[in-house]
Structure 1
């Protein structure tokens, strides 16, 4: 399922706290994004069609709850990035970041720890 950048902003609100109404989502992201109510409702309708969220009627409004977990979304996005840009390989991604952005000692230590854990699992 492809989630746009704007849809991901709405999803972040719902992952943080759900269920939420369109008005509550607008109150949280509207000022920062310069979005109007129609924008939020359009994004929610797109997410409903993608089955990323569900809506339940409460009186005169709908409350939205995510069906797509943040973990699954992050996994899909990371795999897509790896596949598109690095042939599905992690090493070229890490090499790219180390060349473009200086890795801190903490980052390097964490990478070493992760590699050791992977080695221990094999």
Structure 2
């Protein structure tokens, strides 16, 4: 399931707290994103069609709940990034980030720890 960048912004709100109405989502995102009610409702409709969210009637409004977990979304996005840009390999990704952004001592320590844990498993 491909979720656009704008749809992911709506999903972040729902992952943080759900269920939420379109009005509640607009109140949170409108000022920050410069979005109007129609934009939020369009994004919610797209997410409904993709089955990333569910809607339940609550009186005269709908309450939206995520069906796609944040963990699954992050996994899909990171796999897509790896496949598209680095041939599915992690090492070139880490090398790219180390060249573009200096890794902190903490980053390096965490990477070393992860590599050691992976090495211990094999």
TM-score by length of 2: 0.99
| TM-superposition CA deviations, 1:54-75 (whole Å, max 9, x none) | 0000000000000000000000
Structure 1 CA distance for aligned equivalents of residues 68 and 117 of structure 2: 29
Query: Which residue is equivalent to 2:36?
Result: 36
Using the TM superposition, give the Cα deviation of residue 80 of structure 1 relative to its aligned residue in structure 2, in angstroms.
0.1
Structure 2 CA distance for aligned equivalents of residues 96 and 108 of structure 1: 14
Structure 2 CA distance for aligned equivalents of residues 10 and 76 of structure 1: 17
| Corresponding residue SS for 1:41 | helix
| Corresponding residue SS for 1:88 | coil
Query: Which residue is equivalent to 1:85?
Result: 85
Structure 2 CA distance for aligned equivalents of residues 19 and 90 of structure 1: 36
Structure 2: gaps of 5 or more residues: none
Structure 1: gaps of 5 or more residues: none
Structure 2 CA distance for aligned equivalents of residues 34 and 95 of structure 1: 36
Structure 1 CA distance for aligned equivalents of residues 58 and 104 of structure 2: 49
**After the TM superposition, which segments of 4 or more aligned residues of structure 1 sit over 4 Å from their partners?**
none
Using the TM superposition, give the Cα deviation of residue 121 of structure 1 relative to its aligned residue in structure 2, in angstroms.
1.1
TM-score by length of 1: 0.99
- Cα RMSD between the aligned structures? 0.3
Number of residue pairs aligned between Structure 1 and Structure 2: 122
Structure 1 CA distance for aligned equivalents of residues 9 and 100 of structure 2: 27
